[in-house]
Amino acid sequence: MLGILEHLNLMSRFLFQAFPGVAGELKAWRDLACRCPDPELRRQALASLALKRFHCQGASVFTVWQGDCHGELLRAIVALQTISDYLDNLCDRAGVQEEKAFQQLHHAFRDALTPGAALKDYYKDYPYQQDGGYLTTLVKVCQQSLLALPSYALVQEKVGWLADLYCHLQVTKHLPRDQREIRLIQWLDPLVKSLPEPLNWWELAAATGSTLGIFALMALAVRSQVRLEEVEQLSGAYFPWIGGLHILLDYYIDRQEDQEGQDLNFITYYNDEREARLRLQYFLQRSLDKAVALPDPVFHLTVIRGLLALYLSDAKVAAQKLTGTRRFLLLNGGFTSRYLFLLCSFLRRAGVI
């Protein structure tokens, strides 16, 4: 009974505190994006804000982990996720495939997570450059908000490690088709061999592409006292398990869309639907096992089950005739997953997400 009450309290704060806060933050960023002088940068900034707002909405659950919605944490999360979505568009949707340009752009992501880091010319090697200060403002706002988190200095090293993995993936996966796979394998194979549990290289790649571990550590830093053991335990749950589940689900529902756009999709590396289903189940179970062992299991279990609900309630699932796998995963996720699935389905119909 206590777990149900905790869950309901968490969802209430999430929907009625975090969601309105995200809407306010995104409106301010949309207003600034509208003033980008370069039409291509303006188009990509506005597209990322419009089409990927659910990324910020979902990430905002971390702002209510420690109680009522934490304003500075919300501001940092929305700024960082907006940087992530914007850079993804610049690398994927603007007709540019220059590795040097992608690397320079992603210094913005790293700098945003490093309070005090000097701003750079992030567009130096990119063909479009005049954004009216949009990207540097995002970086500065994230830096300033992180400074307000009492224990950020204790999580910053692990955050930087996850950010480096994330940026390496983003740069490499957007290279030309004849380069990206071999470069990813060369990078990830040694990392796979160092893991205590066997993973496929594309599964580890998926884990590096999630920002959830970063957000979880940022949320932990809201506390005035944090032990290094907590940092290690939390990051070990989110990477590679919860983060891997996150991105594999994302690729799972985007399979047809990515095939049509000739985009890289890690789910296509499985031999068939059955193998993909069983590996998703494996990541789900390992995520649940890791979450149960954390100091605040109800919150992290809700994050995991919320991932299932958010992605599997997307209309793309039914359109691709993937309802069998959806049913299978929701059953494995337990009652809370099915409840959250119904909630997400309602929120989609209402246009909230």
pLDDT in tens, 108-154: 999 999 999 999 999 999 999 999 999 999 999 999 999 999 999 99
Please state, as a whole number, how many other Cβ atoms lie within 10 Å of the Cβ of residue 272: 7
Amino acid (1-letter code) at residue 321: K
Task: Write out the residue range of the structural domain in which residue 101 sits.
Answer: 1-148
245-283 tens-digit pLDDT: 999 999 999 999 988 888 899 999 999 999 999 999 999
**Residue of 116, 214, 212 whose CA lies nearest to 156:** 214
Give how many domains the chain has, as a whole number.
Answer: 1
Distance CA 275, CA 308 (A): 18
129, part of any domain: yes
Q: What is the DSSP letter of 123?
A: T
The verdict on residue 72 lying in a domain is: yes
Angstrom distance (rounded) from CA 282 to CA 279: 5
SS3 116: coil
Q: How far apart, in Å, are the Cα atoms of 99 and each of 1, 112, 175, 180?
A: 53, 21, 7, 11
Domain membership of residue 210 (yes or no) is no
Residue 25: closest CA among 82, 66, 69: 82
User: pLDDT tens digits, the chain, 353 residues: what are they?
Assistant: 445 667 778 888 898 999 999 999 999 999 999 999 999 999 999 999 999 999 999 999 999 998 888 999 999 999 999 999 999 999 998 999 999 999 999 999 999 999 999 999 999 999 999 999 999 999 999 999 999 999 999 999 999 999 999 999 999 999 999 999 999 999 999 999 999 888 999 999 999 999 999 999 999 999 999 999 999 999 999 999 999 999 999 999 999 998 888 889 999 999 999 999 999 999 999 999 999 999 999 999 999 999 999 999 999 999 999 999 999 999 999 988 998 999 999 999 998 88
pTM of the model: 0.96
Structure-block tokens of residue 1: 């009974």
In a domain, 102, yes or no: yes
Examine residue 60 and state whether it is found in any structural domain, yes or no. Answer: yes
Helices (H), the chain: 2-13, 19-33, 39-51, 53-59, 71-92, 99-105, 107-112, 134-147, 152-173, 177-193, 201-208, 212-220, 228-237, 243-253, 255-261, 273-292, 297-312, 315-319, 323-333, 335-349
Q: Is residue 139 in a domain?
A: yes
Task: Identify whether 233 is part of a domain.
Answer: no
121 burial (CB, 10 Å; 0-12 / 13-18 / 19+) is: exposed
142 inside domain: yes
| Nearest residue to 54 (alpha-carbon basis) of 10, 9, 85 | 85
Cβ distance 22 to 56 under 8 Å? Answer: yes
